[in-house]
Amino acid sequence: MSAQRALGPPIMHRPLGADMLRWLPSVVALAAVLEMVVLRVFTRTAIHIPGFSRLRSVYVTISETGRVAFYVAAVLLIATLVLLVSYLARRGSFASLAGAAGIATFLSAAVIARLRDADGSFLGMATVVAVLLLGPWACGGSSRRSRIVRTLLVTAFLVAAMTSAGQPAPIDLSARRAWLALAAEMLAILGAIAAPLLARTRSRSALVWGAAIGVLVFATLIANPWTVKILLLWNLGLAGYLPSVLYASAAGALTWTVISLFSERRMTSAVGILLLFAGGIGLHSTYQTGLVLAGLALLGTEAHGEEAPTWDGEMQPHRRDTHVGDIGRRARTVPATVGRALPIGVLEDRRSDRQSHRQGSARASVNHQHPSRTR
């Protein structure tokens, strides 16, 4: 038995970026949510508050905080997408390689669009290709319950990307865009309402928080529907065609899901949902599109059983032996030959077998010399 077989699979050194991928998406999600609350919501509504001009210094301070959060999220998002490409490529399966190609396609298109000042249709087409390639990874996995949610979310973003893909068409493009936008919005709302299927437990505190957020959103929509729906359109790409109760239910369900996932210590799925929420379904910027792609990739990672934070040389999770007996059994080794090793337990078993064989031989010889002892 060779040393590798005797000791089990070796624990390799973590590859470059593996540790960063454990915490970097969480920082991106935190910065993106802060940016959305401050820049996309607060700065657009605070100017309409009567008498708020007297608090200009407070407004400037809060706005600068949101701007810094945006820069942090944008820079770290690029690093996260690059690490996700490396991770998916190292996985080696068809779905992971396709997902890596999809994210790489989006990154390349974003660079080309920036350098050549391309129009939105070029980036929209690249986004459609990226989502199609990332779809098998994001929708795969063994969990059938969560696959429903992930499929709805992937389809919603794909349909939303199709609204700006391709060259501008003459007359019927506006009608086609309207129908695609409505379909994307319906799919996104259904996916958000079904999001609790991602959770494995039903936390009572998560249910209370989800209900509270749902009631708050519903009351806000009833009190001032125009302002809230404009914010939904600007921030999340939702036009507000559907009844208000559906948007409130979606907000409550997402809150319930995120809190439940955090309580279950499933950080990958929780961060993925937050990134999807911060990105929305509208192609408002490459930044928001990148947030959604990162969120879909993380949801697929958790669905493929990659929640464990331990990595081996192939960027795949590896179970470490945490049992004391397993650690001791691996540690107690002695060299047998060059390049080989045997556990002490195996040597002790062989010694006991030899001693038992010797004792049996001695008894047989004694009984043969003195037959009366056997009677």
Residues 39, 231 contacting (CB under 8 angstroms): no
32-77 pLDDT per residue, tens: 999 999 988 888 777 767 666 677 788 888 889 999 999 999 999 9
Measured between alpha carbons, how far is residue 125 from residues 86, 140, 176 in Å?
A: 23, 23, 16
292-345 pLDDT per residue, tens: 999 999 998 887 765 433 333 333 343 333 333 333 333 444 344 333 444 444
Bridge partner list, 343: 333
Residue 239, burial from CB neighbour count under 10 angstroms (0-12, 13-18, 19+): middle
What value does the mean pLDDT take over residues 254-266?
A: 92
Q: pLDDT at position 326, please? A: 38
Q: pLDDT at position 53, please? A: 67
* DSSP per-residue string spanning 289-339: HHHHHHHHHHHHHHHTT-----B-TTS-B-----SHHHHHHHH-EEE-STT
* DSSP per-residue string spanning 208-250: HHHHHHHHHHHHHHHH-HHHHHHHHHHHH-----S-HHHHHHH
Alpha carbon of residue 213 to chain centroid? 24
Structure tokens at 236: 């999340």
366 vs 319, residue with greater confidence: 366
| 5 pLDDT above the threshold of 50 | no
Prediction pTM value: 0.74
* Mean model confidence pLDDT for the chain: 77
